[in-house]
Structure 1
Amino acid sequence: MHTIRHDWITTPITADILRGALDLEHTAHGVLPHRLPARARAQCADGQLAMAETQPSGVRLVFRTRATAVELDTLPTKRVYVGAPPRPDGVYDLLVDGRPAGRASVTGGNILTVDMATGTAENRPGPTGTLRFTGLPDGVKDVEIWLPHNETTELVALRTDAPVEPAPDRGRKVWLHHGSSISHGSDAASPTTTWPALAASRGGVELINLGLGGSALLDPFTARAIRDTPADLISLKIGINLVNTDLMRLRAFTPAVHGFLDTIREGHPTAPLLVVSPILCPIHEDTPGPGALDLAALSTGRLRFRATGDPAERASGKLTLGVIRDELARIVEQRADEDPNLHYLDGRDLYGQADFAELPLPDRLHPDAATHRRIGERFAELAFTAGGPFTDRSA
């Protein structure tokens, strides 16, 4: 059993050494980072949203220290899907002065067993685990520990062999991004290699990732959370969840998008605001939802999704990715005269037909690690380089 050295310094985990979270909940074990504020959480009892917003995509501990050894006690909640291959443990990424310096996982934790065929879930409590990074370079440095993007993580204790202080503000712009499980990180290899984290690194900005798996549904409370969060740059990736949940028809979709944008503009009237339509997803390009688990594939141990709607239902207002792209482009164009800082990006410029031929979606819905890298590089090039919507156009 690991014993705590007597010379360890324990530092309280507080908001001043945590970035990317909008709220910190004090629990029986420590603190639980949330990516939606308490008021938003109180307005929706959906279990999928509750799981997604407590998975700390983009959330990281950031501090300055001389320490050469760091320990972090956490209580993860690991997911097991009945009939599907085991999921790997969540990954923690260590950065020292902005450069990758280590990667590790925590064993133990709670086990959430999900039966996707029946929609039921069962939680079994488990023990706290310890993450350990040693051999860090001597001298003052900025340390970042990025929490697993896809594993709910309660933070129990932070220990170091030298004092810790909050890292100074580097004066970088804050980019807030909202989207679906693809933005959340889906099957990326680690928290710093989700496509938004990669794009933020290339763009030299501080990331707040409000990618919420299964939950980018134009919820008014999400718009208010974005409105009330300080940010210099904002992007919204809208579409896939609205199709695969079959949540609304075109009649509701258009005013919902306008309302979402109106709410954000109340708090960020002139910030560059980029609306991104869905990346290519062949099963839903012209076929409405709802999306469903492919039970035949699951019986052979493979996780795959399928579209269950009828393309003819588009005539009655059912949404497909093609319908959503056309409407988002039209909405942005309509608002452009009164909102010159509103921009549109076709998601197929991030991942399109040629990319699908080379890097198909393994489960027909989510990109893999290599595709996350490609999408992140493409987004950085289109948004953050000269002439992009996130560059200074006054220069």
Structure 2
Amino acid sequence: MKIAKRMENLSPSVTMAITALGRELKAQGRDILSFSAGEPDFNTPDIIKEAAIDAIKAGHTKYTAVEGITETKQAIINKLKRDHGLNYELNHIVISNGAKHSLFNLFQVLIEEGDEVIIPAPYWVTYPEQVKFSDGVPVFIDTDDSTEFKITPEQLKAAITPKTKILLLNTPSNPTGSVYSKEELIAIGEVLKGTDILVLSDEMYEKIIYDGRKFTAAAQVSEDMFKRTVTINGLSKAVAMTGWRFGYIATPHPDLVKAMIKLQGQVTSNVNSITQYASILALEGQADDAIEMMRVEFEKRRDFAVEKFNAIKGISCVKPDGAFYLFVNIKGVTEDSMKFCSDLLEQKGVAVVPGLAFGTEGYFRFSFATDLTSIEKGIERIKEFVEANY
């Protein structure tokens, strides 16, 4: 059997691979502490579970419209209006099987061979792989701790070419937790004025934000940005609904929505009906108390972990404004993040993701979406590892 050539340029997810290896070692009896997965350790709020049960009992178990049921799409529209003052209509929304699926649909319907997609690095591992699979060209803008891993308008302007089709923003960011302010988004919008460049704004972690900051959506900073922005979001992270597979896009361009519906209709059809009905309550804000409980706990864990990491000689860590990751700088001990993470797992049973997987060497990603006791044990093992090896 010959595998299609298109698969040769597609790399497996390093985060998934490390998570799987950690589980395998744990199954073998090893004492493994894993900080590699981007998944909340909390359960889905009971109100969402109960809504799913009610949907089953009510017989909502059939096919739905490819792009989602009207009630759920309307709940998305209401959410975007309530949270960000944005005005969308039913033909501006597509619900897909997680934000990853939304992104794949977008790249497939937007990118033609040779089109360039600007991606700030560090980046979520999936972005460049999907761009390449769609025959596009990822163009990376490197960032580091000095700018809190955010691109500057000058960097963006320098990266734009006649082939630039898309700027991909992720705020709050996976893997760094960086959050673009309203002023920073306005400045980015100024660079894009007069171009046809689309902004794909992945805002999956918008509800997980710290220190009393207010999240700003890319589409809300100006009329020009609203017209060029496609917002990608979902319920996996903030509402602890990773396994439910619910993502969506919002765009003021019905032609783009029609193209996504056409593609999705031939690939997956609708998101499962039960998830769609259960998601309405989360979108309407009825799970907000549970979301806030999780956010507060994440903030405690962030503060604890940042302090502990910064006490280790040779390691440093900026305090992220959102998400539930630390992007830990290990340049004081090594530039080889793959070897560091591999040896750490082998010697100390601690699983973290090398920065190289996110396009930035000399760092590792540490997920604090787990309990404080495990975080304390994990960082102590990392400290012992660094002291023993470097």
Shorter-chain TM-score category? Answer: under 0.3
- Relative to the length of structure 2, the TM-score reads 0.26
* Structure ranking higher in helix proportion: 2
* Larger RCO, structures 1/2 (Cα 8 Å, 6+ apart): 2
* Structure ranking higher in strand proportion: 1
